[in-house]
Chain A
Amino acid sequence: MAKLEDQRTTVYKVDPEHPESANLPTLRTEELLLNMGPQHPSTHGVLKVILELEGERIVKATPVMGFLHRGVEKLAEDGTYHQFIPHTDRLDYVCAMYNNFAYCRAVEKLMNITVPERAEYLRTIVAEVQRIIGHQFWLGTQALDIGAMTVFFYTFRDREILLDWFDELCGARLTTSWYRIGGVERNFTPSLLDKLRRFLDYFLPKIDEYVVFLEKNRIWIARTKGVAVISAEDALSFGLSGPTLRGSGVDYDLRKYESYGAYPRCEFSVPVGKNGDTYDRYWIRVEEMRESVKIIRQCLDQMAAEGPIMADVPSVTLPPKDRVFTNLESMIQQFKLFSQGFDAPPGEIYCGTEAHKGELGFYIVSTGGGKPYRLKIRAPSFIHMGAFDHMARGYMIADAVTIFGTYDIVMGECDR
């Protein structure tokens, strides 16, 4: 034993004047490359990130994407404008309604169509319901990724109610395709209205229930506060949008900036964070759920009981389904619209919509005819991934999971 002590003192003794003279054993200090994904459960689909590590710290992160690339933009060039609506469901497959909404708005801008008032209200209500679903989904999975499992069960239980509500509305839970160019496909039934009102009364106190699990949880606070901080200047420069941008203190929200739908007739506030960290973005999303409830309630109160749900532009919009089966002209109109499409004027437009992830925009170039010449999707998830390296540097491997989550990333939209 004594001998060992001697050895230690002799071998590791370092003269502070001449540290190089010490006979220290060589330590390996090379950087470690770690492939995270594409099969990692917390990468929200098929995302791979190559992490360059120094110990447990991230030195550089290189996202590798495209595992879910289906060439949606190319497919758009082959179909008519109406035929592209179901493709938009598969972009952000968690929140299909908002994609439909964004796309239909873009085509309406191209065709210069004004949507009837009742349809605007219906669209806004369903979009906000979709926003609640998106945020519930986000909250559950983000908490699950960080290690808080219970919230996941609570949010998914309530999300299920809304998905069933969608099922009753349009016959599908996820790939909805309920929006149409110029309006919506189907009206609300009294049962749907009643269920929605009752859900809102049920849901508002439930938000506090979710929050209790997290805001008093030391692990959650430690893993979100001060993690993945991005300054307002950088966030703007990277083109972030939605809660990811608002967490840094920029109140950019297209519902306010370029208001559309029934939003100008509703009173609501846009929550804005100040620290630009994961916790602020979490707080914004929770507050947005409360604001969504407010918006839906106002829409339900203001909406007229009756009214057209589709713009009356026979050259572009689809005839009502009951007329198609009984009326010859309507049947011909329906057939022509689906086989040839409508004749769009030559020109180009960009139309951005505030989806719950951020600004979802469609840039459409038309040269006339029934098909888009070029259709570009500005997908917030893809653009958020551009800032991943910047936001991940200096944090731990475990925080990489938090950062995927904080963007609310969905690979279907990111890879298109």
Chain B
Amino acid sequence: MHPIAERIQQLFPTGFVKAVEWRGDLAITVTRDSLHEVARFLRDDPAMDCDYLVHVSSVDWPDDEERFEVVYEVYSIRKRHRVRFKTRVPESDCEVDSLTDIWKGANFMEREVYDMMGIRFRNHPDLRRVLMPDEYNEGYPLRKDFPLRGKGWRDTFEFLNEAQS
């Protein structure tokens, strides 16, 4: 196993779930409760020193019990290593701790995840939609159950809809 993953497993035996290394990328899955601690460790530990938050992303797995996956990717400018850590959240309670207090850039990136996937971030200073309109209430566009094609002008033609169905 990758030394960074081993270190995290030792320090967070209950929080660590699994580590995957593929195509040179290291991805560590941790439990939701330990996400904030692991993130703080990754930034503050001198051996990790991940001072740069690359991106925050999310993946929807509708068939799984814990439906959503929140993905953080961090980089160390001095040590030049990259770590991806992620956690799973169920749909009924999709909320994770915000990492805004660790990396300031997490503010906008987490807002985007909230906007697109509907995952809420606890202790986030300004959790509003960022790309979709504020009053938009038709769901979260990047969820897999969100329709790929919207309703529009073409739907007013009945003969087109008949041909499709």
Cα(A78)–Cα(B51), bound, Å: 35
Query: Contacts of A386 on B, CB cut-off 8 Å?
Result: 104-105, 107-109
B52 contacts A236, CB within 8 Å?
yes
Q: State which size class the interface on B falls in.
A: 35 or more
Q: Please tell me if A270 contacts chain B, counting CB pairs below 8 Å.
A: no
Query: Contacts of B141 on A, CB cut-off 8 Å?
Result: 71, 74
A376 contacts B55, CB within 8 Å?
yes
Q: Which of A239, A257, A373 contacts B105 (CB 8 A)?
A: A239
A378 contacts B54, CB within 8 Å?
yes
Query: Contacts of A186 on B, CB cut-off 8 Å?
Result: none
Cα(A257)–Cα(B78), bound, Å: 10
Query: Contacts of A74 on B, CB cut-off 8 Å?
Result: 141-142, 146, 148
Residue-wise interface mask of A (346-364) relative to B, using a CB-CB cutoff of 8 A (1 in contact, 0 not): 0111101000000101010
Residue-wise interface mask of A (60-98) relative to B, using a CB-CB cutoff of 8 A (1 in contact, 0 not): 000001100101011001100000000000000000000
Cα(A237)–Cα(B74), bound, Å: 11
Known: A78-B148, A383-B105. A348 touches B22 (CB 8 A): yes
Interface residues of B in 68-113 (CB under 8 A from A): 71, 73, 77, 80, 82, 84, 103-105, 107-109, 112
Known: A376-B57, A382-B108. A350 touches B131 (CB 8 A): no
B107 contacts A361, CB within 8 Å?
no
B23 contacts A349, CB within 8 Å?
yes
Residue-wise interface mask of B (123-159) relative to A, using a CB-CB cutoff of 8 A (1 in contact, 0 not): 0000001111100000001100010100000000000
Cα(A78)–Cα(B144), bound, Å: 11
Query: Contacts of A387 on B, CB cut-off 8 Å?
Result: 104-105
Q: Report the nearest B residue to A112, measured CB to CB.
A: B23
Q: Which of A77, A350, A382 contacts B54 (CB 8 A)?
A: A350
Query: Contacts of A112 on B, CB cut-off 8 Å?
Result: 23
Q: Please tell me if A109 contacts chain B, counting CB pairs below 8 Å.
A: yes
Q: Report the nearest A residue to B143, measured CB to CB.
A: A74
B23 contacts A110, CB within 8 Å?
yes
Q: Please tell me if B116 contacts chain A, counting CB pairs below 8 Å.
A: yes
B148 contacts A65, CB within 8 Å?
no
Q: Which of B52, B55, B60, B116 contacts A350 (CB 8 A)?
A: B55
Q: Which of B22, B27, B84, B109 contacts A383 (CB 8 A)?
A: B109
B54 contacts A236, CB within 8 Å?
no
Query: Contacts of A374 on B, CB cut-off 8 Å?
Result: 57, 59-60, 142
Q: Report the nearest A residue to B43, measured CB to CB.
A: A237
Query: Contacts of B51 on A, CB cut-off 8 Å?
Result: 236-237
Question: Binding site of B, secondary structure by majority: helix, strand, loop or mixed?
Answer: mixed
Query: Contacts of B60 on A, CB cut-off 8 Å?
Result: 374
Name, among A348, A373, A390, the residue most crowded by chain B CB atoms within 10 Å (CB to CB).
A348
Q: Report the nearest B residue to A240, measured CB to CB.
A: B105
Q: How far is the CB of B141 from chain A (nearest CB, A)?
A: 6
Query: Contacts of B77 on A, CB cut-off 8 Å?
Result: 236, 250, 252
Q: Please tell me if A365 contacts chain B, counting CB pairs below 8 Å.
A: yes
Q: How far is the CB of B52 from chain A (nearest CB, A)?
A: 5
Cα(A73)–Cα(B142), bound, Å: 8
Query: Contacts of A209 on B, CB cut-off 8 Å?
Result: none
Cα(A363)–Cα(B130), bound, Å: 20
Cα(A78)–Cα(B82), bound, Å: 29
A238 contacts B57, CB within 8 Å?
no
Q: How far is the CB of B10 from chain A (nearest CB, A)?
A: 25
Q: Please tell me if B25 contacts chain A, counting CB pairs below 8 Å.
A: yes
Cα(A110)–Cα(B24), bound, Å: 11
B105 contacts A359, CB within 8 Å?
no
A363 contacts B109, CB within 8 Å?
no
Query: Contacts of A257 on B, CB cut-off 8 Å?
Result: 80
A378 contacts B55, CB within 8 Å?
yes
Q: How far is the CB of B97 from chain A (nearest CB, A)?
A: 17
Known: A252-B52, A365-B59, A383-B108. A349 touches B103 (CB 8 A): no
Q: How far is the CB of A379 from chain B (nearest CB, A)?
A: 9
Known interface pairs A237-B105, A363-B55, A383-B108; 15 further A-B residue pairs with C-beta atoms within 8 A, sorted by A's residue number: A65-B130, A66-B131, A66-B132, A77-B148, A112-B23, A238-B103, A347-B22, A349-B23, A350-B25, A352-B54, A365-B59, A374-B60, A378-B54, A385-B108, A415-B131
> Which 6 pairs show the lowest CB-CB distances between chains A and B?
A239-B105, A386-B108, A66-B131, A378-B55, A376-B57, A238-B105
